[in-house]
């Protein structure tokens, strides 16, 4: 990998360009680290190699308290409780980090958070659908492999109760075949195909309108019956007009260029008419039988996408998505721009992780656990080094990442609950119920916040909401016994109040300056001590340290 290419590709070539096979072929598989290497070893091997070559000294590893906060937010979707902090910081075991990761992955929190992560990736942008969310939760709880989930999401037809809600991904996009096409391609394969809808790319010969409409063909027959089931019609080819004005019929074509032929069957006009009638009935009558054509384009699509020789796109995309979620940017970044104008920063690492995922049955939990165990993951987001900050794609330091609405909302609830009202540990049997309850309570606030996307900025609406909305006062600053403020007011020493307030919210001890500042403030607010505590907690929960994973 040539660093000079980074600059050229990332900044110079601002072009829509798609090379479909080139990326896959760029890395010779023989050169990769052995398959038995552990995930964190492989990550650190490849990341460090580039850093060495570029003579970049990465920022140091974060301390225990900061690691606990970062990894709990990433695996459990919330900040650590006071109990969890004390347990982790007090532990002297040499493998406590590995144990913590294992414990978080095994806790009920992980399934909730991973469910939310997948929902935010696939559907939350469009709608909130509780059945779909329940389907995701159950799937993650059952450790369902990612390729199996993909198969269910693409092929569920509502006939099997367990997977029925999986059809929502396509059903919610049913009115627009371009949306089904583009979102499937972007979210499951990391390729934004929409540019080729109107024109062949002028420079990259591989990417033609044929590819776009070929991909769209797989979805063009999909419709929703009156009984709200996803089904397919008997026919319906994708017609398009090329930029040269030629009328064309698209072939069923996957991203790699591989095609499927529909078996040719002679259909009489009468039969055609009758079939159309059947479809119409299914669309208009809840009780009408749903016709089942012999040839299913979507089944062919899934078969092609997961075939050994083609599955690289699918595997690589989810590896890169999970990486981006944990690092703030992808090895290919943005993650939906997999094309020759936007090469991966670490192609060998990406290839290795992709093969590892395939070899381990698309186990995302294993992948995530491996990534967070790497040193690259645990670097500080502060830059104290010499010279300019290294560009983000070196992964020499951590990025500051905005919390998702749910992460923030849940963290607000948990950190402003009295530590005495929280279960002792996430291994506690009460914890699953507790998490479910908090997950529900967090929804109201989460709905008010914006989901982070590319170029995300915190809006002034959010600042106004936290400054002036009664929900904030009532939910987070109440001084009843079950709340943090209520707990603080029972403490006799102001130093103790400050320590508890900062630890509960920010997961660390206050520094000297903060203690002095807060003490001075509380001293001045002796006329209304509870109001004073409320303002301190408000400042803590609206501070960037609370708002971001850093």
Partner 1 sequence: MTIRHPQIDQFNRRRFLGTMAAGAGTVAADMTVLNVLKNPAFAEELKRQQKSVILLWLAGGASQFETWDPKPGRPTGGPFGKIATNQSGVEISELLPKMAQQMETTALIRSLNTKIADHGGGFSLMGTGRRPEAGIEFPDLGAIIARELGRKESKVPDYVSIYSSTEGRRNGTSGFLGGRYAPMFLTQDVIPPNLSRLEQVSDLDHVQRAELRQLLTDRFQSKRQSLVVSSQTSAYERVRGLMSSERLFDVEEESSSMRAFYGPTQFQQQCLIARRLVEAGVPFVKVARAWWDSHGQNFETHRELCADLDQGMSALLTDLEQRGLLENTLVITLGEFGRTPGINPSLGRDHFASAWSCSLSGCGIKGGTVYGKTDPDGNTVADGEVGAGHLFATIFSALGIDWQKEYHQGSRPIPITDFGCEPIKDVLA
Q: Specify the stretch interacting with partner 1 by CB under 8 A; choose among 200-208, 275-283, 366-374, 513-521.
A: 513-521
Q: Is there binding between residue 57 and partner 1 (CB under 8 A)?
A: no
Nearer to partner 1, 163 or 504 (CB): 504
Tell me how far apart the alpha carbons of residues 218 and 195 are, in angstroms, rounded to a whole number.
18
CB of 494 to partner 1, least distance (A): 14
Q: Which of 188, 290, 518, 549 binds partner 1 (CB under 8 A)?
A: 518
- Ranges within 338-357 binding partner 1 (CB under 8 A): 341-342
Q: Which of 48, 479, 495, 514 binds partner 1 (CB under 8 A)?
A: 514
Which 3 state secondary structure label does DSSP give 174? Answer: coil
- Ranges within 439-498 binding partner 1 (CB under 8 A): 450, 452-465, 467-470, 473
CB of 197 to partner 1, least distance (A): 8
Which residues lie closer than 8 Å to 35 by C-beta, 6 or more apart? 355, 356, 359
Distance of CA 459 to CAs 198, 401, 450, Å? 34, 15, 8
Tell me how far apart the alpha carbons of residues 35 and 232 are, in angstroms, rounded to a whole number.
41
Nearer to partner 1, 246 or 512 (CB): 512
Maximum Cα interatomic distance, the chain, rounded to a whole number of Å: 90
CB of 381 to partner 1, least distance (A): 6
> Long-range contacts made by residues 397-401, C-beta under 8 angstroms, separation at least 24?
397/58, 397/59, 398/59, 398/62, 398/70, 398/327, 398/328, 398/550, 399/327, 399/328, 399/329, 400/328, 400/544, 400/548, 400/549, 400/550, 401/328, 401/452, 401/548, 401/549, 401/550
Q: Is there binding between residue 538 and partner 1 (CB under 8 A)?
A: yes
Tell me how far apart the alpha carbons of residues 439 and 46 are, in angstroms, rounded to a whole number.
38
Q: Specify the stretch interacting with partner 1 by CB under 8 A; choose among 227-235, 315-323, 489-497, 518-526.
A: 518-526
Q: Which of 183, 210, 356, 475 binds partner 1 (CB under 8 A)?
A: 183
Give the angle subtended at the CA of 542 by the CAs of 447 and 535, to the nearest 5°.
Answer: 120
Nearer to partner 1, 112 or 323 (CB): 323
Q: Which of 4, 94, 384, 440 binds partner 1 (CB under 8 A)?
A: 384
C-alpha R_g of the chain: 26
Q: To 10 degrees, what angle do helices 529-541 and 512-524 make?
A: 140
In whole angstroms, what separates CA 452 from the centre of its chain? 11
Nearer to partner 1, 39 or 472 (CB): 472
Tell me how far apart the alpha carbons of residues 322 and 386 are, in angstroms, rounded to a whole number.
31
CB of 524 to partner 1, least distance (A): 6
Q: Specify the stretch interacting with partner 1 by CB under 8 A; choose among 75-83, 178-186, 350-358, 488-496.
A: 178-186
**296-334: b (≥16 Cβ within 10 Å) or e:** bbbebbbebbbeeebbbbbbbbbbbbbbbbbbbbbbbbb
Q: Specify the stretch interacting with partner 1 by CB under 8 A; choose among 100-108, 299-307, 382-390, 431-439.
A: 382-390
Q: Which of 162, 176, 274, 433 binds partner 1 (CB under 8 A)?
A: 176
Q: Specify the stretch interacting with partner 1 by CB under 8 A; choose among 362-370, 399-407, 435-443, 481-489.
A: 399-407
Instruction: Give the closest residue to 477 by CA, choosing from 465, 486, 490.
Output: 486
Q: Specify the stretch interacting with partner 1 by CB under 8 A; choose among 133-141, 162-170, 351-359, 534-542.
A: 534-542
Q: Which of 39, 56, 122, 536 binds partner 1 (CB under 8 A)?
A: 536
Q: Is there binding between residue 182 and partner 1 (CB under 8 A)?
A: yes
Instruction: Give the closest residue to 42 by CA, choosing from 320, 335, 327, 356.
Output: 356
Nearer to partner 1, 191 or 410 (CB): 191
CB of 80 to partner 1, least distance (A): 18
State the number of binding residues for partner 1 (CB under 8 A): 73
Residues 114-153 as x/- pattern, contact with partner 1 by CB under 8 A: ----------------------------------------
In whole angstroms, what separates CA 222 from the centre of its chain? 27
Q: Is there binding between residue 404 and partner 1 (CB under 8 A)?
A: no
Residues 185-214 as x/- pattern, contact with partner 1 by CB under 8 A: -x-----x-xx-x-----------------
- Ranges within 269-298 binding partner 1 (CB under 8 A): none
Nearer to partner 1, 381 or 491 (CB): 381
Q: Which of 202, 289, 444, 544 binds partner 1 (CB under 8 A)?
A: 544
Contact 305, 158 (CB under 8 A): no
Query: Is residue 32 exposed (0-12), middle (13-18) or buried (19+ Cβ within 10 Å)?
Result: middle
- Ranges within 8-27 binding partner 1 (CB under 8 A): 13-17
CB of 311 to partner 1, least distance (A): 23
CB of 189 to partner 1, least distance (A): 13
Nearer to partner 1, 292 or 511 (CB): 511
Q: Is there binding between residue 324 and partner 1 (CB under 8 A)?
A: no
Place of tokens 């595997």: 315
Nearer to partner 1, 470 or 480 (CB): 470
Q: Specify the stretch interacting with partner 1 by CB under 8 A; choose among 20-28, 76-84, 271-279, 541-549.
A: 541-549
Place of tokens 């002036």: 468
CB of 520 to partner 1, least distance (A): 6
**472-482: b (≥16 Cβ within 10 Å) or e:** beebbbebeee
Tell me how far apart the alpha carbons of residues 177 and 218 are, in angstroms, rounded to a whole number.
10
**Token couple for 213:** 């409409």
In whole angstroms, what separates CA 412 from the centre of its chain? 21
Tell me how far apart the alpha carbons of residues 254 and 297 are, in angstroms, rounded to a whole number.
11
């Amino acid at each position: 990998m040539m660093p000079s290419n980074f600059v050229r590709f990332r900044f110079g070539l601002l072009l829509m360009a798609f090379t479909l096979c080139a990326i896959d072929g760029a890395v010779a598989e023989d050169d990769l680290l052995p398959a038995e290497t552990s995930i964190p070893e492989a990550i650190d091997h490849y990341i460090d190699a580039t850093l060495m070559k570029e003579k970049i000294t990465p920022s140091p590893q974060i301390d225990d308290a900061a690691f606990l906060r970062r990894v709990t937010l990433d695996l459990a979707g919330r900040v650590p409780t006071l109990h969890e902090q004390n347990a982790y910081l007090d532990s002297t075991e040499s493998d406590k980090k590995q144990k913590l990761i294992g414990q978080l992955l095994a806790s009920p929190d992980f399934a909730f958070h991973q469910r939310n992560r997948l929902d935010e990736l696939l559907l939350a942008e469009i709608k909130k659908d509780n059945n779909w969310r329940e389907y995701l939760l159950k799937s993650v709880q059952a450790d369902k492999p990612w390729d199996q989930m993909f198969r269910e999401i693409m092929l569920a037809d509502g006939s099997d109760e367990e997977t029925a809600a999986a059809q929502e991904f396509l059903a919610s996009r049913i009115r627009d075949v371009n949306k089904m096409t583009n979102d499937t391609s972007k979210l499951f394969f990391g390729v934004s195909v929409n540019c080729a809808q109107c024109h062949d790319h002028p420079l990259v010969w591989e990417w033609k309108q044929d590819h776009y409409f070929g991909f769209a063909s797989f979805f063009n027959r999909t419709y929703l019956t009156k009984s709200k089931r996803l089904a397919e019609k008997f026919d319906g080819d994708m017609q398009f007009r090329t930029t040269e004005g030629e009328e064309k019929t698209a072939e069923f074509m996957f991203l790699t260029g591989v095609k499927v032929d529909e078996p040719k069957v002679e259909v009489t006009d009468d039969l055609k008419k009758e079939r159309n009638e059947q479809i119409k009935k299914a669309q208009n009558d809840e009780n009408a039988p749903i016709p089942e054509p012999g040839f299913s384009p979507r089944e062919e699509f899934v078969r092609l996408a997961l075939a050994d020789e083609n599955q690289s796109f699918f595997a690589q995309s989810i590896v890169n998505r999970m990486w981006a979620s944990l690092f703030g940017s992808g090895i290919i970044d943005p993650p939906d721009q997999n094309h020759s104008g936007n090469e991966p920063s670490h192609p060998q690492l990406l290839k290795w992780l992709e093969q590892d995922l395939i070899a381990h049955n698309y186990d995302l939990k294993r992948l995530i656990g491996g990534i967070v165990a790497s040193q690259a993951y645990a670097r500080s987001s502060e830059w104290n080094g010499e010279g300019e900050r290294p560009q983000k794609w070196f992964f020499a330091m951590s990025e500051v990442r905005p919390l998702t609405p749910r992460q923030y909302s849940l963290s607000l609830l948990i950190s402003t609950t009295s530590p005495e009202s929280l279960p002792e540990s996430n291994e506690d049997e009460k914890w699953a119920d507790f998490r479910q309850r908090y997950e529900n309570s967090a929804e109201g606030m989460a709905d008010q916040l914006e989901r982070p996307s590319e170029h995300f900025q915190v809006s002034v609406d959010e600042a106004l909401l936290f400054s002036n909305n009664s929900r904030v006062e009532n939910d987070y600053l109440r001084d009843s016994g079950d709340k943090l403020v209520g707990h603080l007011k029972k403490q006799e020493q102001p130093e103790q109040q400050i320590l508890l307030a900062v630890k509960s919210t920010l997961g660390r001890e206050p520094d000297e300056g903060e203690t002095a500042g807060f003490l001075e403030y509380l001293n001045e607010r002796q006329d209304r001590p509870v109001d004073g505590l409320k303002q301190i907690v408000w400042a803590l929960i609206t501070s960037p340290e609370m708002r971001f994973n850093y």
